[in-house]
Amino acid sequence: MTLSQPLLKVGVAGVGVMGRNHARVVAELRDVDLTTILDADPVVAEGVAGLYGALGVSAVEDFVGAGLDAAIVATPNRTHADLAVALLERGTHVLVEKPIAATLEDARRIIDAAKANDRVLMVGQVERFNPAIETVKRAIADEKVISIQVTRVGPFPPRMGEVGVVIDLAVHDIDIIRHLTGSEIVEVQPQLARTRAEREDTALLQFRTESGVIAHITTNWVTPYKTRTLQVATEGKFVVADLITRQVTEYFGQQADGSYQTRALNSWPAEPLRKELEAFVHAIRTGETPAVTGEDGLKNLEVALRCLGE
């Protein structure tokens, strides 16, 4: 970026847990000015805005009309489409948190609005930017992938109400499978259970990609501790990643007697959300295709809804 480029005026809509993190990171970015915070609760909006010298608003029309260059939509899923479309039609670039929308129809509305108004649309699949995921992707770049297994479990989150584990958690891993294989998911075999929540809180999901990779996601809200692990088997190696500690280990050179070699792979420390927002700003500044497109978000949602039988 050259010094002649003006600051990007950015707003954050919805400052729950994720939205507050977005606001914090946006406020730290160079060449970006966090100007506006939207929340349905005016006290919350003004409180968060006050932390960053921004304007707090509680009316959607005030946010849409705030003259923003870019906005992050982190409101409840069912509100994503109307808000994102209104922003895009106003000429605002949009990053919408995963899932892109509550329905496929709404997802397409957002994508169409971005195209019609020539605006950047990016979907917030933050695990794409986890350094451990990037390390795994490099490790398997020249390998034929056989299978992928992801475990994403933990205790029930009190903030959750409108969606179950498939939309809240498994959407991350559906995206990881597509990202690591470069192939679309064509077969879905879901097993769901509801034990403590109104929606499914346990899911065992099996997939097959167009390229023949088989994949498995274990996710729930019934495990008392949080675990985020990824295992990738290829013809030549086995790669294991802890997505929380970002430790990645590669197992290779297996012999007939069962012996093998291991090595730790470097995973550079970086906050995934910061890398995601930097990628969003980069796409706006350069006109390049964003790292996670609206079409990516649509495909992730489509697979998730198939798992739910919708």
Question: Using one digit for the tens of pLDDT, what is the confidence trace for 9-27?
Answer: 999 999 999 999 999 999 9
pLDDT value at residue 4: 57
Cβ neighbors of 139 (< 8 A, separation 6 or more) are 232, 237, 239, 248, 250, 265
Both tokens assigned to 103: 């329905």
d(Cα 70, Cα 93) in Å, to the nearest integer? 4
Whether the per-residue pLDDT at 197 is higher than 80: the answer is no
Q: Classify 249 in phi/psi space as left (phi over 0), alpha (psi -120 to 50) or beta.
A: beta
Residue pair 205/166 in contact by the 8 Å Cβ criterion: yes
pLDDT value at residue 267: 77
Q: Please write the tens of the pLDDT for every residue from 60-77.
A: 999 999 999 999 999 999
Residue pair 10/74 in contact by the 8 Å Cβ criterion: no
The answer to pTM > 0.85 is yes
Give the pLDDT band (50/70/90) at residue 161. low
Indicate the average pLDDT of the chain: 95
Give the pLDDT band (50/70/90) at residue 234. very high
d(Cα 268, Cα 280) in Å, to the nearest integer? 20
Cβ neighbors of 164 (< 8 A, separation 6 or more) are 192, 194, 197, 199, 200, 201, 203, 308
Cα 100–Cα 173–Cα 157 angle in degrees, nearest 5: 75
Provide mean pLDDT across the span 44-52.
Answer: 97
Of the CATH numbers 3.40.630.30, 3.30.830.10, 3.30.360.10, 3.10.150.10, which one belongs to the domain with range 128-271? 3.30.360.10
Closest C-alpha among 225, 165, 168 to residue 201 = 165
Cβ-based neighbour number of residue 110 at 10 Å: 27
Give the pLDDT band (50/70/90) at residue 231. very high
pLDDT value at residue 196: 77
Whether the per-residue pLDDT at 133 is higher than 80: the answer is yes
Whether the per-residue pLDDT at 2 is higher than 60: the answer is no
Cβ neighbors of 177 (< 8 A, separation 6 or more) are 148, 150, 185, 207, 209, 213, 215, 217
Give the DSSP letter of residue 42. H
Provide mean pLDDT across the span 266-279.
Answer: 91
Residue pair 59/4 in contact by the 8 Å Cβ criterion: no
Which three-class secondary structure state does DSSP give residue 72? Answer: strand
Give the DSSP letter of residue 128. G
Closest C-alpha among 208, 217, 205 to residue 185 = 208
Instruction: Name the more confident of 164 and 157.
Output: 164
Provide mean pLDDT across the span 138-166.
Answer: 91
Domain definitions of the chain by residue range: 8-119, 128-271
Give the pLDDT band (50/70/90) at residue 1. very low
d(Cα 238, Cα 236) in Å, to the nearest integer? 7
Which three-class secondary structure state does DSSP give residue 65? Answer: coil
Within 188-293, where are the H helices? 272-286
Q: How far is CA 198 from the centre of its chain?
A: 24
d(Cα 30, Cα 47) in Å, to the nearest integer? 23
Closest C-alpha among 167, 12, 199 to residue 98 = 167
Tell me whether strands 70-73 and 8-13 are parallel, antiparallel or unpaired. parallel
d(Cα 251, Cα 233) in Å, to the nearest integer? 10
Of the CATH numbers 3.40.50.720, 1.10.150.20, 3.40.50.2300, 3.40.50.1360, which one belongs to the domain with range 8-119? 3.40.50.720
